[in-house]
A and B are shown apart, each in its own frame.
Chain A
Amino acid sequence: MSLIKFDKVSREYKVGDHEQKALDNIDLEIEEGKFVVILGPSGAGKSTLLNLLGGLDSPTSGTITVNGNDISKLSNDELADYRAETVGFVFQSYNLIPTLTVFENVSLVKEITSNPLSVNEMLEEVGLADHKDKFPSELSGGEQQRVSIARALAKNPKMLLCDEPTGALDSETGALILKVLLSMARNYKKTIVIVTHNQNIAKMADVVIRAKSGHIKELINQDNPLSVEEVDW
């Protein structure tokens, strides 16, 4: 059964006097537990797709169903609940709260989630148990991104949505982050959707979606995705 279903989804933005279609009549289904990579050039609509899926934005028309629930017509508060319970985000720029320690940044999700995972366990998993009392500014970029992953997973969400998670990192650290991300997602049986420019990441995905000008040009199911180590970074 598909976890995510886009049914004739469009998203239009008003730019000046005219409407601009960021997504145009998209149909898409993603199964639970899959690792999905969305590729495409700038303006292809991939970030819009991720935002709609994450409940950060709502479609102009069409329906988005996640885990059997239509999220396209939810109110602001219902969307907040959806983000709190169903979605874990990993951003390119980490977006950690600078005034909270590593531990507190991850613990933050306990304030809003009904079924969170152990914060200490998450920090162990990402290898930052020894840094839990540090502030984000005391960590490297890679370490900050690992905190971000721990925070996303600590919510115990259905899926992880990642927007260019390795975009701000060097290739070695990027590979490490992907390894952490993938292994944790597999361990905890989470669906991962990654938006990226990086073609190499696509080699590791179960599903690769190529977007262009607001349309899905191609959807490829890869039966034998490569592991992080197998990809030439």
Chain B
Amino acid sequence: MLFKKMLRTIWHYKAQFISMIFMVMLGVGVFFGFQCEWFSIEKNTFYFYDKTGFADYRLVDESGYSETDLDKILAIEGVDKAARYLSVLTNEGKENETVSLTVTTNEEVSGFLIMSGEEYDASSSDGVWISDQYAEKNDYKIGDEITLKYNLHSITGKIKGMIKSSEYLICIADENQMMPDFNKYGYVYISPLMFKTMMGGIEYYPQINVLSNLDRIEFCSKVNEALGKTNLILTKDEIVSYAEAQGEATEGKTMASILPVVFLAIAILIMATTMQRLMINEKTQIGTLKALGFRDRKIVKHYTFFGLAVGLIGSILGIGLGYFIAWFIFNPNGSMGTYFDLPIWTIYFPWWSILVIIGMIAFMTLISFIATKNILKGNAADALKPYVPKAMKRWKIEDSKGWRRMKFSTKWNLRDIFRHKARSGMTLFGVVGCMVLLVASFLMMDSTKGFVNKFYWGSMNYESMIILSQTTTNEKAVEMASYFDADYCSSSSVSLNESAISIDIYHIENDYMKFLDKNMNFVKLEDNGVYIGQRLKQENNLKIGDELTIAVYGSDITYKVVVAGEIRTLTKGIVLTENYAKEAGIAYKINKLYSSWDTKKINEDTTYSNDISASKSKSDIIVSFDSFMEVMYTMIGALITLSILLGVVVLYNLGVMSYFERYRELSTLKVVGFKDRRIGKLLITQNMWLTIIGCVIGFPLGVWITDILLKALAAEYEMSLMFNWMTFTIPVIVVVLTSFIVSLFVAKKNKKINMVEALKVPE
């Protein structure tokens, strides 16, 4: 019988039950979905790294490593596997298309997975294993011939297999490309034998890739000892395919630890309030059961089930929604698929997220339990008495003239807000939460867009970037800069406090490259020191005026430089002028030109063709920026949609609750002669007040939370808070409009008020 009663009670409060389940579903869904997203990135990428032998360390020496060097490395205790390795940009014969030619002397190190075609054959003299995505975009099939050109060498091979390699998990040609574009850039693997043939019998491997569990300091010291010199040793954290992928996971983790937690907190708190109010509404029924002789335990069990049922159903639906959200962001056909080239896309969830959900269900159950227990306190007669809200007390302000002049509706709403503090507080909390989520979402989007826009459209004023051959001398590079109307740069790595950082030495005459200071304003590089990026500044706790000692790999040479300013960069490193580099005695090799020529013109001009390794147009880079923004838009779009949805559910739920709690008062007004529209206006006014207050509180809170979020994300992007008037206007409009529409919807219920009920004595 009690079960029947329970079903009917749920039906009676169907609006509240549905909205509670919906809230739990949204809260759990967003929380679970965002946790799954970063966890799935981590799990899938680690599986890929493991299966393809992604190198833990890379020794880099432009002069190349011999077989003997490799043996010395392999002899080090703690080195599991090692291979001589090469990855160079080559032209693949087609205009504007580059391919990284890759060779590993041990396919278990920095190798690949075969997606289709023949297994890898290290003794093949003509086999080419090509990136499946590049092949698809460029219409290559197994059996097709492909010609690869590297400096003066070229070789034609036959495509034997389609592959994926974790070395190219994020397949970008250099740090200026943000997103992969397989139409323009891909990779191939050939055997060492074929590479030797291509190079005319010369073996040239500028890298040794190593699998080892040794820590960096121990590994570096053992390697330097084994080879008898200081080597440029890159850890996997300094490789794009690892650092950026894990950065993406960290970014997801950071976002998941703030915004979805806000979501879950809103859902839990509002649901707890709704459940408590629902129990209060059931007070006389609980009292009746007690008076009839039902034991407290049975009544508590009966009502506790409400919380458990809502928590369970909402969570199950939420987990489903979470899977959908995770899939929406992390799937091979979505925006993430344009970033990662993964062989598998399985959605995983962190085990503790289930614990959080179980904890939430337990909390919901506990709320129902405590609420029922509280009602059952005392004897049956107490339990039977209807719930009476707190009596009003006079405020001091009421003696003022201003108060007396206030309209009745203003006084009524003001007092009602304070009389039902929990409900009003929750409405406010819901609006604040919704506002925070929206402001944060829009700010994140604007800051990313603003940063990338300013970086690409503001900083990069060149038409094309020319990558010079390794054999090109500085004198020739300067000559070429003049010929191609270009500024030039030397990009390399140095060691700072045992960690590799980038060092970019610029010669700027035409302003084809500009730099952004920490406040996102353009700054001219002076010749009085180096400019540090934000990540470098944070990690090493640096400030202007500090002296840094940087070490050159492959030698014992060190340089002392002074920090002259702060800038924002895409890479972790330092930037300086050529003049300061000369002054500090830093040796450098020019390897990039930033030209006003377009790539077509550069490719057609043969004057310096032997000195050009590759050229990339700015528009190619901009395409990758658009793809990057697409990933951001997907996540932000999902957050905005779900925030609005949560706002609607929260406001509707509280609106309905408020309506039912004031039903008697509203009926009285109606009986006295107030029209539906007037009563509706009363309800809407109160909600709008709370909405406006919520916006005022939520607005700075959203900015503050985004600032925290951006600082937490600074390890990956050197973004600062950027916004325009739309950033703030849209969330306010959305929240106010949502609140207004929901209030209007609730206010429409007035028409259904049964005035006759108002004449009756409450049961």
Contacts and interface: CB of A to CB of B under 8 A. Distances in A.
A180 interface: no
Interface string A158-192: 00000100011000000000000000000000000
A95 interface: yes
A87 B668 CA distance: 13
A225 to B, nearest CB: 25
B759 interface: yes
B673 interface: yes
Interface stretch (A101-109, A121-129, A210-218): A101-109
Given A80-B673, A107-B408, A112-B673, A95 B415 contact: no
B95 interface: no
Interface residues of B, number: 35
Interface stretch (B13-21, B79-87, B255-263, B386-394): B386-394
Interface stretch (B67-75, B137-145, B517-525, B750-758): B750-758
A57 B667 CA distance: 13
B191 to A, nearest CB: 85
B665 A97 contact: yes
B394 A97 contact: no
Given A56-B756, A92-B761, A100-B408, A85 B673 contact: yes
Nearest to B664: A95
Interface string A84-116: 110101011101111111001001110111000
B416 interface: yes
B675 interface: yes
B672 A137 contact: no
Given A84-B673, A85-B673, A167-B761, A133 B394 contact: yes
Contact of B671 (A47, A89, A99, A100): A89
A109 B394 CA distance: 22
A63 B412 CA distance: 37
Nearest to B419: A99
Given A107-B408, A111-B408, A98 B673 contact: no
A20 interface: no
A83 interface: yes
Contacts of A84: 672-674
Interface residues of A, number: 43
A51 interface: yes
Interface in B658-694: 664-665, 667-676, 678
A135 B678 CA distance: 23
B395 to A, nearest CB: 11
A59 B392 CA distance: 39
Contact of A83 (B407, B408, B667, B671): B671
B293 interface: no
Interface in A48-101: 50-51, 54, 56-57, 76-77, 80-85, 87, 89, 91-93, 95-101
B104 to A, nearest CB: 78
Given A92-B759, A93-B761, A93-B762, A99 B392 contact: yes
Nearest to B668: A95
Which of B391, B668, B759 is the most central at the interface, judged by chain A CB atoms within 10 Å of its CB?
B759
Interface string B736-763: 0000000000000001000110111110
A135 B394 contact: yes
A109 B392 CA distance: 21
Contact of A51 (B389, B391, B667, B759): B759
Contacts of B758: 91, 95
Contacts of A101: 394, 398
Nearest to A80: B675
Nearest to B389: A98
B421 interface: no
Cβ-closest 3 pairs across A and B = A84-B673, A137-B391, A99-B415
20 contacts: A51-B755, A76-B675, A80-B676, A93-B760, A93-B761, A97-B669, A99-B411, A99-B665, A101-B398, A104-B408, A108-B669, A109-B672, A111-B408, A111-B674, A112-B672, A112-B673, A113-B673, A135-B392, A151-B672, A155-B672
Given A83-B672, A83-B673, 19 more contacts: A56-B756, A76-B751, A81-B673, A84-B674, A87-B673, A91-B758, A92-B761, A93-B761, A95-B667, A95-B758, A98-B391, A99-B412, A99-B415, A104-B411, A107-B408, A109-B673, A111-B408, A133-B394, A135-B394
Interface of A: 47, 50-51, 54, 56-57, 76-77, 80-85, 87, 89, 91-93, 95-101, 104, 107-109, 111-113, 133-135, 137-138, 151, 155, 163, 167-168
